[in-house]
Every structure is written in structure tokens, then in C-alpha cells.
Structure 1
Amino acid sequence: MKTLKFTLPVLAAAVLSACSMAPVYQRPDAPIATVYPAESGPAAGQIAYVTADAGWREFFQDARLRALIETALANNRDLRTAALRIEEARAQYNVVAADTLPNVAGTASGTRGRTAAATSPTGASVVGSNYQVGLSLAAFELDFFGRVRSLNEAALSQYLATEEAQRAAHISLVAEVAKAYLSERALGEQEELARRTLASRESALKLAQQRFEVGASSALDLKQNEVLAQTARVTLATLKRQRGQAQNALTLLAGRPVNALPQGLPLSSQGIVADLPAGLPSDLLGRRPDIRASEQRLKASNANIGAARAAFFPRISLTAGVGTASGELSGLFDGGTRTWSFVPQLVLPIFDAGRNRANLSIAEVRKNIAVADYEKTIQVAFREVADALVARDAIDEQIDAQARVLDAQRERLKLAEQRYQGGIASSLDVLDAQRELFSAEQSLVQAQLLRLTNAVDLYRSLGGGLKETAG
């Protein structure tokens, strides 16, 4: 009968503690279209294959770039900080989770004191001792209304959000290293073009100087050649500076100076521009870590509402202890020294000047903010993919047109030189053709870089860059 009396309250407490006052979580509808813009082509909304399935080692073919990405993943300080944030969130979750279970501690104490004769019942001073050893349960809350459980769920969601944020940082780092490397490659190719152009213009300047000295050309022709040569020198110096800064940016992303890297590939041989079907917009919800992190923060806000609601109801906690006590240390474990205590406590909110109501309002507002942040994260992700898809076809057309411009400028220079040598055209036509050819060469490199970075942006926006190999 005594066992039954003890079991029934425990079972009742277990049933009540399973309750939760948090609202039932429902994922908000994604505020985006069901398909990507029509400009991105039929593959954007009809092909189920997603680029994110390809690991970054498979996506990037340049061995030098792979080595840089690998080094950055191991040494980048921002990524290291994100990993430490995960450890911090895990520890915080463990702290909150500990409140769901009783905390039992071993205790040992000893006191010794003298009672004055004036206050002693016997009229004489007394020296007394008290020694205790035992186990104690300190203020364990019976979670009848789910307050502790809601706080535990909120801490878990925050931990999961931090973990997803670290994955998003991983993807962003892969993309940033790739784009910084491609920019450095493009600047290197432009620098080489500028160096060759400067050498050609310096030769032309020497020839113009000789022609001027013998009276075969005017001072105007000489100065025009000099202007072109000095302009090429300025361009070369500018590109050297920009390339040096791009290399410094790569070193910062990599986390340490990188030496003995494999030979890099030119932009035309990178091999990362291919057909990149994007799947359906709904795929982003499961593939983008930043979206998953935002949803976890929304779940945490939802759970905090449950904790705020539970604060309106009574809070019951138990404090208990069992052990032995004796006035002599040597008799601490003798018969008849056993002690125990059981102290239940009920705290019922009566008047708090609106504190609990304000806390509930804060929790509800924060949930609404989290919903708005979640929806905005989805919208930003959709726009990033849509922008990359829309730009892809336009960039291909731009490169094709720029290549045709370059071919036309080369032919123009050839014809201008023939006409000048035949005495039909002036040197101005040749100089103008040289200047336009150099500009067309630089523009083609920029267009090629734009196509490569567009491919990297699409790969990242689809959630690619987390895996090293294909799944």
C-alpha cells in the first residue's frame, strides 16, 4: 500500500511534466515563386539534378585552387571561430539540459561552538559539536507546465542553428577562395598582356624616334607613340599593384602563407563552366545551411513562448537530503544517527507588476521577427540563384560578342598597318587600332572572369561547397 501511495504521485508528475505550453511549430510558407525566372532556361525549373551534389574537389579542376581551398578550410580564422561557436553552443545546451534531471550532491559539514553561560539553560557555558555527512537534492523543479523543457528545446535549436551557421561559413569560404583565386589569375593574364603591349609600344617608340630624327615623321607622331607607351606602363604598374593585393587577400583567406603550390591553370582551362541545372526553388530549403539555421532560430523563438507561458503557472520544486549526523566525529556512523529531510516548495505568481505578461509579449514579438528573418533568408537565397541563372546566358553572349570584337580589332590593326606602310593612312589610324586592340584583350579577360565567378556564385547559392566529393 505504501508503494502504491508513492508510485501514483511520481506517475502523475511524469505525465504532467510531459506537457508543453509552446505553440505547435509550423514551418511558414516560402514567400517565393515555384519556378525560377524564365530567362534562366527550361533546365532551371525542370531538371531535378542539383549542382550542390558535386563536391568542391570535383567542381574545381585547378590543382592550385584545390590546394588553396584545403589550406583555407584548415587555417582560416573566421571558420575556426565558427567552429568554436559550435562548442560554445553545445556547452550552453548541456547546461540547460542538466536542469531536466535531478542534481544530487554529496555533502559533509562540521561545526563546533561555545554557548555562553548567560544563555545556557544550565547556567554554565557549553561547548558543542555537530558533524553531518549525506546526499542532497537541491531545488529540483517538477516541470508540470513544460517551462524547463521549453528552455531545453530552445537551447537545442540554438545549438543546431550555430552548427548550420558553421556549415554556411564553410560554403562561403570555399566560394570566396575560388573567386579570389580567379581574380588573381585574371589580373595575372591582364598583367602579361600589358607587359607584351608595353614591349611592343616601346619598340614602336624607338622606331618613331629614329624616323623623327631623320625627318621622316613629325613631332606629333613621336608624342603620340610616347603617350601610348607611357599609358601601357601605367596600366602595367596598376595591374601589378592589384595582383599583389589579390595575392594578399588569398593569403588572408588561406589563414597562412602558402608556398610550393601546384601550377595554376589559365582562365580558359578552369573547366568549371558547364550546364548547372538548379532544380526547383523548394530544394533550397533543405540544401542551404543559412536557411536551415534561420529555421532553427525560429524554432528556438517558438519554444521560448512556451517557457514564457509556463511562468504564469505555479512552480514546484523539491529539496531533499539524507545522511547521518552526530555530535562526535567518531560516532558519525553509529546506530541512530541517520537523518533525512524533505522540503517541497510551491511558488504561485500573484502580483509581478506585469513582468510575466511583458516577457510573453517579448517572446511573441521575437518569434515574429524570427519568421520575418526566415522568410527574408529564403527570398535572398532565391534571388541569388535567380540572378546567377539569368546572368549565365547573358554572359555567354557577352563573351561571344567580345571575342568577335577582339578578332575584328586584330584585323583592323593589320589593315591599318598595311595602309600606313602603303602611305594611304596616317599613323593615327595605327595608334588608335593598337589602343583599341589592347582594350579588347583586357575586356575579354574580364568577361571570362565574370563567367567563372558566375559559375562559382551559382554553385554556392545552390548549397554547394560543403562536400569534398560527390555524394
Structure 2
Amino acid sequence: MNKSLISLAALALITGCSLAPIYERPAAPVTQAWPQGDAYKPGSQSADGKEAADIAWRDFIADAKLRQVIELSLANNRDLRVSILNIERARGLYGVTRADRLPQVNASVGQTAQRIPDNLSATGEGYITRSYSAGLGISAFELDFFGRVKNLSEAALQQYLATEEARRSQQISLVSEVANAWLTLAADQERLRLAQDTLKSQQISYELSKRRFDAGATSGLDVYEAQTAVEAARSEMAIYTAQVAADQNALTLLAGAPVAPELLPQDAVQPVTQLADLPEGVPSTVLQRRPDVLSAERSLQAANANIGVARAAFFPSISLTASAGSASNQLSGLFKGGSGTWSFIPQVNLPIFTAGANQANLAVARADRDIAVAQYEKSIQSAFREVADALAQRGTLDERVASQAALVEASDKSYRIREARYQKGADTYLNALVSQRNLYAAQQNLISARLAKASNQVTLYKVLGGGWQ
């Protein structure tokens, strides 16, 4: 037994304190400022000075339909339900370990009856003996001089708190996933409407090309090119029809129940949040408030307490078994004077030779603590990256949407001119078709850009720790 453990034992005997190391939060392995550069715009602050973690999701989500879908998911989503049940399980386990810190008193009442046969009786006649007892007893209660039971209880408490933080993290993810699924459905419905409109336009052009070909005003090549455009538009419409159905199925899974048609998005992609911008705050404050980071820290504290459990195994353990009550050979004399009985059985267990098992268990506990430290640091680094990525997207999305909108406008003008020239016979249908395809691609990309901007606000709210309340 090394000197440090002997010193810890002496301190424990005097004060009854724990043998677990004093917990110190590891330093955050990230910089104290968010990244800077061309991709990032200057930081902002909300009007009321609140951070994202302090803004309830009902105050953040502006669309009334989406709020109802989120309410439905919080009530019925099975993943969230499992997280809640895990909390109940962890609470129960903590209650079990906490109960071990106090003696458990049991009451007992009993009778013992025995018949003595004739051949064993001193008188040669068999007889029956009876005895009665009643008492209170304590069985194998451990005097926790070295904090073994206390640290087991502390580890269970931290695991329970980690499970609670995991539930909050699950809710944050669920709110974000439902909002993004709802926005994705809106975008794909808009893409489907665009494909339908494009198909109608291409069918009109195809009919025009056929009439011109029948009149001898154009070649068969224009007819075939027009037909390829119709079939391409029909294929796009089929793809987005299936995609819209898949989006609805995904939303139903997240909600955990069928979503009423009136709660589905009906319009084009629009921002669904109350705030025009979110304050990013200071990394050291924001990241350490995220439930997933807090959960990792709780697990680290539990591992730290388990070191105290492993250290306590090197020292004696003292347990008490005691009882007191009354005993008599007659039921009527059970509580009369002179019938009192008691027993007191202290037991000391001193580890002498364990073939290195205690040392190995301590090494395992320390390794578990070091693993928990690495996992805690990784959770902070991952959280930092998620926020940095969302901020980089936020800093460039306005320019992306504006440039894409300008491209749609220019492509539309180009297509209209090409189409007019073709109808007047001044240009080939191929040039008009190329312009139409460019316009269609630009319109699809504009929908994607608007979806990215709306989703970025939701994602930024999530990675900054908002949505758990």
C-alpha cells in the first residue's frame, strides 16, 4: 500500500471524507472567440440580450402550424420517449444507491416449533417445544469511513443528471429536425409545382413544334428536341412527387403520429423564426451550457467518483449486524419482563491479498476518468465546429440568395427572348431549349438557397443550445 493511500486513509478516518479526487473542470480545448474571416459576418445581439439557450422554442418558432407539429412530436416521438424513460431508470438507480448510505431496519415476528420423538425424550414420551420471537434488526450496514458508498451514490447521481441532460439534448435535436423536415417538405412541394409548370410549358412548345413541322416551317429535329424536354420535365415531376411523399413520411415519423393535412406547409419556403438574427455569444459560455456538453461533464464527474470507490477497496470495511427484541417459549410471555434479547455482530473485512485485483480496478477507474475527460473535450470541440459551420453559412447565405434571385431574373429574360425569336422563326428551338433549362436550374437553385437560409436559422438555434425549454 503506497504512502499516498495511507495518508488518504488517515484523513478519511479523521474526517470521514471521500477518497475521490477533487473534481476540476478541464479547460476548454477551443479558442475564446469564434472564427473570423470572409465567411463570417460581424456578431449580433438579440433585442432583449438573451442567448439562444434562454429563448424557448415556442418564442423562437413563428409559424403557428409548425409549432403545432413540434408540440405533436414532443408528445409522441419515440426517441424522446426513450430518453424520458431512461431518466426514470437512472433516477431509480440513484435511489437504490442512496438508500445504502442509511441503515435498513427490518421488523420480524416468528415462531419455531419442534417435536422431540419418544426415543430422544428423557422421559420416554415425545413432546413439542415452541418458541416465539419479535424484534428489530439491522443487517450488514456498512460504516462508510472511506466514502465507498458515498462515492457510489455520487456516481449514480451524476449518471442520473447526465441522463437528464441527454433528454434535453434529444429535445433540442427533435425541435430542429421537425422544423427542418417541415421546411424541406415546403421546398420539395415548391420544386414539384415548378416541375408541373415546366411540364405544361414544354407541352405547349411541343405542340407548337409539331404544328410548325406539319406546316413545313421547321425540321423534325425541333420536334424531337421539344419531345425530349417534355419527357425530362415529366421525369422531374415524378421524382418530386415521390420526394414530397417521402418528406411527409419523414415528418410523420418525427411527429410520432399522423400530421393533419392542414398543418403541412402550403406556401413557398419562408423563414419560420421570430428573430431575424441570433446572438452567438462567447464560446466558453455558450458551449458549456449545451446539454450534450453538460451530459459529458456529468459522466466525467461520475467517473471521478468511481476512483474514490476503487481507492476505498484498499482499506478495511466495517459492517454492523444487530438486532433487539423479545423471545419466549410461550406467546403470552413474549413481552414480559426478562424476555428481552439482543445481538450485536460487528465485522471488519481487511484486504490482505487480492492478487492485484484492487490495483487493477483502480487503474481501470483512472482510465475511465481519462476517457471521460477526452470525451468531454471532444464534445466541446464538436460543438465549437457545429457553431462555427452554422455561422459561416449565415455569413454567406444572404449573398447566395440575392445572387441566385438575380440569376433567375436574367435567365427568365433570356428565355423569353429566345422563345419569342423561335416563335417568329428567327432562331432555332435548341437555343430556346437551352435557355429554358438554364432558367429551370436557376429556379431550383433559388429554392435550395432559400431553404438553406431558413434552415440555417433553425440549425444555429440548435447548436447554440436553444430548444430545450
Q: TM-score range by the shorter chain?
A: over 0.9
Counterpart in 2 of 1:43?
43
Counterpart in 1 of 2:28?
30
Counterpart in 1 of 2:316?
314
- SS where residue 268 of structure 1 aligns? coil
CA distance in 1, matches of 2:91, 2:174: 23
Counterpart in 2 of 1:163?
164
1:334 shift after superposition: 2.2
Contact 2:46 2:278 survives alignment (8 Å): no
- Match 1:297 to one of 296, 299, 309: 299
CA distance in 2, matches of 1:228, 1:450: 28
Instruction: Give, as a single letter, the amino acid of the residue that structure 2 aligns with 1:334.
Output: K
Counterpart in 1 of 2:129?
128
1:111 shift after superposition: 1.2
1:119 shift after superposition: 5.4
- SS where residue 278 of structure 2 aligns? coil
CA distance in 2, matches of 1:129, 1:270: 81
Question: Which stretch of structure 1 is more off in the superposition, 263-272 or 217-226?
Answer: 263-272
* Structure 1 residues 339-385: Cα deviation after superposition (integer angstroms, max 9, x where no partner): 11111111111111111111111110000000000000000000000
* Structure 1 residues 261-317: Cα deviation after superposition (integer angstroms, max 9, x where no partner): 347353135356722220110122442000111100000000000011011111001
Contact 1:406 1:441 survives alignment (8 Å): yes
Instruction: Give, as a single letter, the amino acid of the residue that structure 2 aligns with 1:27.
Output: R
Counterpart in 2 of 1:446?
448
Counterpart in 2 of 1:456?
458
Q: 1:418 to 1:273 in 2, by over 3 A?
A: farther
Q: 1:167 to 1:113 in 2, by over 3 A?
A: same
Contact 2:44 2:279 survives alignment (8 Å): yes
Question: Which stretch of structure 1 is more off in the superposition, 124-133 or 351-360?
Answer: 124-133
Q: 1:271 to 1:141 in 2, by over 3 A?
A: closer
Contact 2:74 2:255 survives alignment (8 Å): yes
Contact 1:75 1:254 survives alignment (8 Å): yes
1:124 shift after superposition: 5.9
CA distance in 2, matches of 1:217, 1:51: 63
* Structure 1 residues 54-79: Cα deviation after superposition (integer angstroms, max 9, x where no partner): 22222221111111101000111110
CA distance in 2, matches of 1:150, 1:188: 56
Instruction: Give, as a single letter, the amino acid of the residue that structure 1 aligns with 2:239.
Output: T
1:107 shift after superposition: 0.6
- Match 1:335 to one of 314, 334, 337: 337
Counterpart in 2 of 1:6?
none
Instruction: Give, as a single letter, the amino acid of the residue that structure 2 aligns with 1:21.
Output: L
CA distance in 2, matches of 1:30, 1:144: 35
Question: Which stretch of structure 1 is more off in the superposition, 275-284 or 233-242?
Answer: 275-284
Instruction: Give, as a single letter, the amino acid of the residue that structure 1 aligns with 2:34.
Output: Y
Instruction: Give, as a single letter, the amino acid of the residue that structure 2 aligns with 1:41.
Output: K
Query: TM-score normalised to the size of structure 2?
Result: 0.92
Question: Which stretch of structure 1 is more off in the superposition, 281-290 or 80-89?
Answer: 281-290
Counterpart in 2 of 1:4?
none
* Structure 1 residues 155-212: Cα deviation after superposition (integer angstroms, max 9, x where no partner): 1001100000000001000000011111000000000111111111111111212222
Contact 2:273 2:457 survives alignment (8 Å): no
CA distance in 2, matches of 1:158, 1:271: 35
Structure 2 counterparts to residues 213-224 of structure 1, below 5 A: 213-224=214-225
- Match 1:414 to one of 416, 421, 435: 416
CA RMSD of aligned residues (A): 2.3
CA distance in 2, matches of 1:186, 1:103: 62
* Aligned-residue identity in percent: 48
Contact 1:32 1:382 survives alignment (8 Å): yes
Q: Name structure 1 gaps, 5 residues minimum.
A: 1-12
Query: TM-score normalised to the size of structure 1?
Result: 0.92
CA distance in 2, matches of 1:260, 1:176: 19
Question: Which stretch of structure 1 is more off in the superposition, 30-39 or 327-336?
Answer: 327-336
Q: Name structure 2 gaps, 5 residues minimum.
A: 1-10
2:436 is the alignment partner of 1:434: yes
Aligned length in residues: 456
Q: 1:420 to 1:208 in 2, by over 3 A?
A: closer
